């Protein structure tokens, strides 16, 4: 079905026409998805879904109330607006409330692909078949997920602000395990266009990793030089990303806080090769035109409305440049309090890499570990971004520039701050987990214990 810009604006205007509050904000979302799931070498589910979501916030002064619904008829919309006004009246004043945004200028972002927008199972069939055929031929067990989606979103308020965006995405992931259950391989790729997904290549990677990781040898935990593949790198960047925030730094709650006051903005905290930026127009990971949204939810800070940055126009921003902290996100409340300009955290994270393949990083390593990915990551210490988690789907010992043999999985306790401080080399950057990141070679990565994970 989908929405055109005019249809989204008309729907937003209908919602706002029912409002009696001083201001009202509305966020509209429509998604159409199609998926094929497989496990134990057979398709388990396949289907499509269409979802509508509407979030309504009524606001007067420092009080606000928010409600949501998934119906489009006038009676339901009127009732939802009235409910948001009742919640507003019952709410306590928010000491960090900010006024609704006036009209904003949003960039046009090309993130929609017609071929990807239609949830046709035939488009996913061949990719899934490649995984199942390979697994059956090599006595492996395959599982995975192939999904395509299209999303239309809009925001509007009574002050005349309006934005509209549409996007598509496709994602294929597969895990292969050996018959005896000691070897496991994983590969995944996501892109805004279905044509960019190459299931044959991903199946080859996962199957090869499964065979090569089987019957791992015991290795003691400790500090190792590591080569983290892009999937593992993306998983460790999240706690760092949420630390790049001016308020937590100003209030002494961040690794960017200086003892006694002030922040480390402008200081060199990481290796020379570390440059991290947001670029919503990057065709590999196109984002939303406004903060607080993006493909798959994005990495925006704060909800729609309130003291956060949601609704502010997204920007191209360099957060870290050649190891120097270049910028920190600032929400609207904190910007007013500190008399600075607001800077939203836009999604579409890109970490610059090099022209080298991962194989070249391995060849230059005397002794270390090659890690496929992490899972079950949990924060240990928010102030220094230390997290704990487990390796999964293949860890190999590297000796004298070559992969020697597979080893057991580990639990780690480490901070992405140390990972990037100790960075020695990077590979070509590639899309992974809604980001574009390289593989990273870094020293003194701490593994604290063995894990029974496969």
Q: Measured between alpha carbons, how far is 239 from 430 in angstroms, rounded to an integer?
A: 20
CB-CB neighbours of 272 under 10 Å = 10
Report pLDDT digits (tens) over 261-303.
999 999 999 999 999 999 999 999 999 999 974 443 334 333 3
Instruction: Walk me through the domains of the chain, giving residue ranges and CATH numbers.
Output: 5-211 (3.30.2290.10), 216-454 (no CATH)
Can you give the pLDDT at residue 292? Answer: 77
**Length of the chain counted residue by residue:** 454
Average pLDDT over residues 368-397: 96
Q: Measured between alpha carbons, how far is 361 from 43 in angstroms, rounded to an integer?
A: 37
Report pLDDT digits (tens) over 383-417.
899 999 999 999 999 999 999 999 999 999 999 99
CB-CB neighbours of 47 under 10 Å = 11
Q: Measured between alpha carbons, how far is 297 from 287 in angstroms, rounded to an integer?
A: 10
pLDDT band of residue 314 (cuts 50, 70, 90) is: very high
Tokens 């309504």, residue?
56
Which contiguous run of DSSP H or E holds residue 127?
helix 121-137
Q: Measured between alpha carbons, how far is 88 from 79 in angstroms, rounded to an integer?
A: 14
Which of 1-15, 82-96, 114-128, 287-301 is predicted with the least confidence, judged by mean pLDDT? Answer: 287-301
Can you give the pLDDT at residue 115? Answer: 93
pLDDT band of residue 118 (cuts 50, 70, 90) is: confident
Listed residue (122, 125, 113, 121) closest to 192, CA to CA: 113
Q: Which two tokens stand for residue 374?
A: 């992490």
Q: Measured between alpha carbons, how far is 112 from 152 in angstroms, rounded to an integer?
A: 10
């Amino acid at each position: 079905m989908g929405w055109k810009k005019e249809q989204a604006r008309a729907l937003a205007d209908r919602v706002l026409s029912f409002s009696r509050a001083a201001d009202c904000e509305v966020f509209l979302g429509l998604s159409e998805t199609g998926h094929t799931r497989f496990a134990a070498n057979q398709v388990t589910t396949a289907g499509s879904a269409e979802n509508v979501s509407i979030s309504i916030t009524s606001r007067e002064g420092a009080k606000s109330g928010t409600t949501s619904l998934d119906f489009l008829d006038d009676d339901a919309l009127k009732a939802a607006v009235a409910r948001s006004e009742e919640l507003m009246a019952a709410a306590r004043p928010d000491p960090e409330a900010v006024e609704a945004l006036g009209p904003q200028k949003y960039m046009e972002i090309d993130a929609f692909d017609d071929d990807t927008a239609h949830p046709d199972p035939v488009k996913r069939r061949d990719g899934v078949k490649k995984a199942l055929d390979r697994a059956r031929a090599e006595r492996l067990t395959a599982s995975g997920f192939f999904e395509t989606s299209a999303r239309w979103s809009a925001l509007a308020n009574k002050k005349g602000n309006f934005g509209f965006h549409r996007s598509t995405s496709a994602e294929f992931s597969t895990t292969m395990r050996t018959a005896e259950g000691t070897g496991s391989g994983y590969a995944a790729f996501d892109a805004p266009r279905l044509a960019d997904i190459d299931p044959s290549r991903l199946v080859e990677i996962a199957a090869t990793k499964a065979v090569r990781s089987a019957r791992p040898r015991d290795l003691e935990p400790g500090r190792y030089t590591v080569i983290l593949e892009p999937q593992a790198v993306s998983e460790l960047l999240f706690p760092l990303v949420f630390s790049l925030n001016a308020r937590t730094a100003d209030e002494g709650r961040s690794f960017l806080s200086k003892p006694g006051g002030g922040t480390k903005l402008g200081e060199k905290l990481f290796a020379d090769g570390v440059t991290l930026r947001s670029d919503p127009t990057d065709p590999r990971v196109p984002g939303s035109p406004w903060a607080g949204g993006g493909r798959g939810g994005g990495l925006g800070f704060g909800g729609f409305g309130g003291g956060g940055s949601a609704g502010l126009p997204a920007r191209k921003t360099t957060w870290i440049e050649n190891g120097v902290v270049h910028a920190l996100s600032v929400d609207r409340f904190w910007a007013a309090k500190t008399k600075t300009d607001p800077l939203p955290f836009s999604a579409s994270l890109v970490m610059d890499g090099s022209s080298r393949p991962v194989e070249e990083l391995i060849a230059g390593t005397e002794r270390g570990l090659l890690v496929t990915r992490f899972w079950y990551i949990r924060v240990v210490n928010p102030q220094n971004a230390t997290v704990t988690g487990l390796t999964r789907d293949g860890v190999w010992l590297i000796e004298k520039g070559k992969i020697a043999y597979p080893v057991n999985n580990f639990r780690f306790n480490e901070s992405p701050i140390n990972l990037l401080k100790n960075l020695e080399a990077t590979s070509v950057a590639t899309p992974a987990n809604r980001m574009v990141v390289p593989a990273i070679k870094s020293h003194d990565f701490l593994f604290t214990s063995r894990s029974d994970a496969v």
